[in-house]
Structure 1
Amino acid sequence: MSDKLVRRIHPALRDDIGDLITQRPLPNAHLDQVDPFLFLNHHGPQTYPPHNRGLPFGPHPHRGFETVTFILAGMLTHKDSAGHESIIRAGGVQWMTAGSGLIHAEISPREFLDKGGPLEILQLWVNLPPHLKMTAPAYTGLQKEDIPALVLDGGRVTMHLSAGEWDGTRGPVNSLTGVFMSAVEFKAGGRLRVPGLAGRNVFLYVVRGALQVGVADDRVGAFHLAELGSEGDEVGMRALEDAVVLLGHAEPIGAPMVAHGPFVMNSRAEIEQAIRDYQAGKFGASM
């Protein structure tokens, strides 16, 4: 048994979208991806006033990957061209498989537009391997109560398990590629040791608070992504203060990747085909 080491700690870079506060730790100047994890936007935290314009993510296409959206505060409406629609509230998760292609919108529901309130959202893009790029689109919307909350370390750690397995409990999302995905809340001093990481890449982003990670006790603070080495089969962490962490791990795909806006494929020719298919209306009717 050996621990993965922290290679580098990457700060999120500010990149607001209109009046939506946005910070992006991945990709960045030093790290293109944590295969298969491609992209993370951290929106907020911020408070919207009553009678606001809401989120700016109107109808847009995707192909070739999955989006996993964590609603930490506020609420989010999802609609897509495959007929899925839901309003997910704080503590919930949206898991969308774009696969062969669909059009979706992520907007604020009328209640939020009218009343305003706090908002904080994480959206993570997860790549699909070549043989699943053209899989059928799918969507799972989970409210907080749908997600197992595992109380660990004598109550100092709570793991909200969206996908994968922990000590006999399985998350409600059956990942096509065996992704483990969770949001973890720590009280100061809380400890977590994650086993079973041989041959898997770890995604570890600190939303708030601060952790010590790995055998060298590297400090990872809020709005930072810890890049872990490929060697080792487990990792330990300890909260230096109350903290919230996005924690995932998965087998790397290792295939060529070509990204163009909302499309992630394996070649330029596949990107050009995606654009043609979208323009031809093959992603379904726009909303």
Structure 2
Amino acid sequence: MQAFVGSVVVRGRCPRRVLSTMTMRKVETVQKTRTQTEGGGFVVRRPNIPPERFDPILLLDHMGPATYGPKEAVGAPDHPHRGQETITYILKGQMQHLDSHGHAGTLNPGDVQWMTAGAGVVHSEMPGDEIFEKGGSLEGFQMWVNLPKEKKMTKPRYQELKATEIPSSKSDDGQITVKVLAGKFKDTAAHIDTVTPIVYYDVFGENSGKVSFDPDVKRLFVYVYRGRAQVCGRDMKEGEIAVLESEEGDVEVISANEEFGCLVFGGDPLNQPVAWAGPFVMTTQEEIRQAMIDYQTGILGSIPGSEKRYEQTRIANQNRS
């Protein structure tokens, strides 16, 4: 087995110190993500972390990687959301977004979409036309972030950044890249405006290297989506997520000398009740019932062309069966 070399160091709130006196966050657990089917039939890898421990994160899905033949690619046709923010980040392929507030966008490799569902929205996320017609690969992530109870009914908002618009930084040795999707990395601030403050970094490289940064959040998670790593002394491999125990302190991630990628994300817990039913995340069951009524009666709106998207999904599933 290839030995681990180099390191990625994620520093917490402690001031800069020499390595021998570092206070390191502890790993509470490392778990393997479970595989399940979502949307119109695509496969995701998802960690099984209780909401009270994931807070303010609700969900992280690793979509794919999947390779589709012609007219086999599936997405998520029209469906509602209320009470959360959804973030879609694409590594491979192309996804198309539409919503009931008139927003539309096409995500290519490296692009990110941030949708604040707030008071409610209907949206669809479908594979790009070329991938559907000719086939191709799709891979990406979707994260849900909870909204504070006083902002659950905020006005929906859509933000999208192309890969070239997402700020990034290099490690001192030039071997590690950190894309700043949310929060701040040293002096590099994300261009996305979040309702719930979180940090969300894509940390990757092809060689061993070392980088340090201060996430300054109480809840932090590291998901290895490519290659192997060692997080605070615990060996990890692709498809595993580390739940970090301490609320502050340094985090050490050592990468193997191979293609490597991990997501580092988290925030301060909202410490509020979570009432969750499918695409709706509120604080009480009464709010959930009202969300369902509002969706069924059309208050959340609709998107023209839904029949075409559902038919495309039916054809894709039929061709894959």
Asked whether the two chains share a fold, i.e. TM above 0.5, the reply is yes
Q: Distance in 2 between matches of 1:258 and 1:45?
A: 31
Q: Per-residue deviation at 1:195?
A: 2.1
Choose which of 58, 82, 85 in structure 2 pairs with 1:38.
58
TM-score by length of 2: 0.83
Pair 1:80–1:136, CA change in 2 (3 A):
same
Q: Per-residue deviation at 1:108?
A: 1.1
The share of aligned pairs that are identical, in percent, is 35
Which position in structure 2 is the counterpart of 1:3? 24
Which position in structure 2 is the counterpart of 1:200? 218
Residue 289 of structure 2 aligns to a residue whose secondary structure is: helix
Letter in 2 for 1:189: S
Residue 275 of structure 1 aligns to a residue whose secondary structure is: helix
Structure 1 stretch displaced more, 93-102 or 164-173: 164-173
Q: Per-residue deviation at 1:148?
A: 1.4
Relative contact order, higher structure (CA 8 A, sep 6+): 2
When the two chains are superposed, the root-mean-square deviation of aligned CA atoms in Å is 1.8
Q: Does the aligned pair in 1 maintain the 2:87–2:113 contact within 8 Å?
A: yes
Q: Distance in 2 between matches of 1:221 and 1:13?
A: 14
Q: Distance in 2 between matches of 1:173 and 1:130?
A: 21
Which position in structure 2 is the counterpart of 1:185? 204
Choose which of 177, 184, 193 in structure 2 pairs with 1:174.
193
Structure 1 stretch displaced more, 225-234 or 158-167: 225-234
Choose which of 68, 72, 82 in structure 2 pairs with 1:48.
68
Choose which of 238, 244, 255 in structure 1 pairs with 2:254.
238
Q: Distance in 2 between matches of 1:239 and 1:153?
A: 16
Q: Does the aligned pair in 2 maintain the 1:129–1:253 contact within 8 Å?
A: yes
Q: Does the aligned pair in 1 maintain the 2:58–2:145 contact within 8 Å?
A: yes
Structure 1 stretch displaced more, 147-156 or 57-66: 147-156
Q: Per-residue deviation at 1:46?
A: 1.9
Q: Does the aligned pair in 2 maintain the 1:128–1:177 contact within 8 Å?
A: yes
The number of residues matched between the two structures is 281
Q: Distance in 2 between matches of 1:19 and 1:231?
A: 37
Any runs of at least 4 consecutive aligned residues in structure 1 with deviations exceeding 4 A, and if so which?
A: 30-33
Structure with the higher fraction of residues in strand conformation = 1
Q: Which consecutive unaligned segments of at least 5 residues does structure 2 have?
A: 1-13, 15-22, 305-321
Q: Which consecutive unaligned segments of at least 5 residues does structure 1 have?
A: none
Structure with the higher fraction of residues in helix conformation = 2
Q: Does the aligned pair in 1 maintain the 2:219–2:247 contact within 8 Å?
A: no
| 1:39-78 to 2 correspondences below 5 Å | 39-49=59-69, 51-78=70-97
